[in-house]
């Protein structure tokens, strides 16, 4: 479900329904004119989403960790006990 929603966000967010992207630095990148650059933009956008999701997973797992030391049980062995 996450993969499908990510692909959907890429399609709608980059306005890929017409097969072209308008970028601020690269200008107009179309699927028909420059397919390699178009593919790089799509892969980069997907990589950005993947790293964002991985960051949230790492943050969540770190947040749940307990760094406090374990409680020590009383040390009592019967063979070392002295009788008075």
Domain boundaries defined on the chain? 12-63
Nearest to residue 45, comparing CAs of 1, 5, 6? 6
Predicted TM-score (pTM) above 0.75: no
Are residues 48 and 65 in contact, defined by beta-carbon separation less than 8 angstroms?
no
Report mean pLDDT in 10-residue bins for the chain, 84 residues.
Answer: 67 63 66 73 83 89 80 66 59
Predicted pLDDT of residue 70: 76
Looking up tokens 């040390």 gives 75
Predicted pLDDT of residue 71: 73
Predicted pLDDT of residue 39: 78
Predicted pLDDT of residue 37: 74
Instruction: Find residue 30's DSSP bridge partners.
Output: 20
């Amino acid at each position: 479900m996450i993969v499908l929603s990510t692909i959907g966000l890429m399609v709608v967010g980059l306005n890929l329904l017409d097969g072209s992207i308008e970028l601020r630095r690269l200008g107009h990148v179309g699927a028909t004119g420059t397919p390699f650059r178009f593919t790089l933009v799509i892969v980069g956008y997907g990589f950005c989403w993947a790293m964002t999701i991985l960051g949230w997973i790492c943050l969540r797992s770190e947040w749940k960790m307990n760094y406090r030391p374990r409680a020590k049980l009383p040390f009592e062995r019967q063979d070392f006990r002295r009788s008075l």
